[in-house]
């Protein structure tokens, strides 16, 4: 019953956010109650796929464009990473009001179940984004992604996010299959101190501050234009050097 109450609560909030309630009200306006057809019971299977349908209103399989491109793909992300994001949204450390409303009364146990479900999904990725970049911009992005810049102590993206750029289990997300504007927005958040309220400086915010706006834009464009390798998945572990450098992220995630 507790799980069903949480599920019903999520459905009502999602309906309010997406405007479903107004559509229902408009459709029923002017219809006398005496002529209304009797309600037919709906047999909804008690599965995780049904319970998380409010999530797929924004994080569905369809390609995202315009403002909707800010909603990232979550299927197949590392389980620990997804759990951390869900908990941070619920607790207000990472702020986005619709997410806070959806998760306000959800327990850690249930968040772990949600994270495990989405992490285990193997859905097809959208085709690479059509991005126009000059040869110089492409070379610049490839160098930063694959080699970094030792003169500024900037590691390559692949050192933390895996050689296939699909993340590193259990806490580091993948970078492919995401819209360009979403990646660029995350760079901006890190440059301004972090993606969460009151977050202390860590390796990702330090790295982002070393990059110029032009560099973050060309990297975001290059990543969005890359196809996702077939059967790709997160790397198993961070290299020791990066685990030490980014220990604040790893330790914070492991302690919570």
Is 55 annotated among the ligand-binding residues? Answer: yes
Is 203 annotated among the ligand-binding residues? Answer: no
Is 246 annotated among the ligand-binding residues? Answer: no
Is 204 annotated among the ligand-binding residues? Answer: yes
DSSP 93: S
**33 within 8 A of 121, measured Cβ to Cβ:** no
Least Cα distance to 246 among 214, 204, 217, 210 occurs for 204
Length of the chain: 256
> What whole-number distance in Å separates Cα of residue 86 and Cα of residue 246?
21
**74 within 8 A of 59, measured Cβ to Cβ:** yes
3-state secondary structure 190-208: HHCCCCCCCCCCCHHHHHH
Q: Is the dihedral of CA 207, 211, 213, 218 positive or negative?
A: negative
* Other C-beta atoms lying within 10 Å of the C-beta of residue 48: 16
Is 58 annotated among the ligand-binding residues? Answer: yes
Q: Which two tokens stand for residue 94?
A: 């990472």
Is 166 annotated among the ligand-binding residues? Answer: no
Is 242 annotated among the ligand-binding residues? Answer: no
Which residues sit opposite 172 in a β-bridge? 168
Instruction: Give burial (CB, 10 Å; 0-12/13-18/19+) of 206.
Output: middle
Extract the annotated binding site. 55, 58-59, 99, 157, 160-161, 204
Extract the annotated binding site for heme c. 55, 58-59, 99, 157, 160-161, 204
């Amino acid at each position: 019953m507790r799980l069903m109450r949480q599920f019903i609560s999520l459905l009502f909030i999602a309906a309010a956010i997406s405007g479903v309630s107004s559509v229902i009200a408009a459709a029923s306006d002017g219809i006398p109650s005496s002529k209304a057809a009797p309600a037919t019971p709906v047999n909804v299977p008690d599965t995780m796929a049904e319970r998380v349908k409010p999530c797929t209103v924004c994080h569905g399989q369809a390609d995202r464009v315009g403002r909707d491109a800010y909603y990232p793909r979550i299927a197949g992300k590392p389980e620990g990473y997804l759990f951390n994001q869900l908990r941070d949204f619920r607790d207000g450390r990472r702020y986005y009001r619709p997410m806070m409303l959806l998760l306000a009364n959800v327990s850690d146990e249930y968040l772990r179940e949600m994270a495990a479900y989405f992490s285990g999904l193997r859905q097809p990725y959208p085709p690479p984004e059509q991005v126009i970049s000059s040869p110089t911009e492409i070379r610049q992005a490839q160098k930063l992604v694959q080699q970094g810049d030792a003169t500024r102590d900037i590691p390559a993206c692949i050192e933390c996010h895996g050689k296939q750029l699909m993340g590193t289990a259990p806490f580091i997300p993948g970078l492919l299959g995401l819209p360009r504007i979403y990646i660029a927005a995350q760079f901006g958040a890190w440059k301004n101190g972090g993606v969460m309220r009151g977050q202390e400086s860590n390796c990702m915010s330090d790295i982002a501050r070393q990059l110029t706006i032009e560099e973050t834009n060309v990297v975001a464009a290059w990543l969005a234009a890359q196809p996702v390798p077939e059967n790709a998945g997160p790397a198993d572990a961070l290299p020791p050097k990066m685990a030490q450098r980014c220990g604040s992220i790893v330790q914070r995630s492991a302690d919570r």
